[in-house]
Amino acid sequence: MSRNATISRKTSETAIELMLDLDGTGHTEIATGIGFFDHMLTAFGRHSMIDLDVRAEGDLHIDAHHTIEDVGIVLGQAIREALGDKRGVTRFGFAAVPMDEALCEAVIDLSGRGFLAFNVAFERPMLGDMDTQLVQEFFQALAANGQFALHVNQRAGHNAHHVAEAAFKAVARALRMAVEPDARAAGAVPSTKGVL
Query: Residue 196: inside a domain, yes or no?
Result: no
Query: Residue 45: inside a domain, yes or no?
Result: yes
Query: For residues 177 and 171, what is the distance between their CA atoms, to the nearest angstrom?
Result: 10
Q: Write the pLDDT tens digit of every residue in 50-86.
A: 999 999 999 999 999 999 999 999 999 999 999 999 9
Domain that holds residue 76: 4-185
pLDDT of residue 129: 94
Q: Is the pTM of this model over 0.95?
A: yes
Query: Residue 103: inside a domain, yes or no?
Result: yes
Query: Residue 124: inside a domain, yes or no?
Result: yes
Which CATH number goes with the domain that contains 72? 3.30.230.40
Cβ atoms of residues 52 and 44 within 8 Å: yes
SS3 state at 188: coil
Query: Residue 138: inside a domain, yes or no?
Result: yes
Domain tally, the chain: 1
Query: Residue 169: inside a domain, yes or no?
Result: yes
Query: Residue 109: inside a domain, yes or no?
Result: yes
Query: Residue 56: inside a domain, yes or no?
Result: yes
In the chain, which ranges are E strands? 4-10, 14-21, 28-31, 51-58, 92-99, 102-109, 115-119, 126-127, 130-131, 149-156
Question: What's 49's DSSP letter?
Answer: T
Q: Write the pLDDT tens digit of every residue in 121-148.
A: 999 999 999 999 999 999 999 999 999 9
pLDDT of residue 1: 73
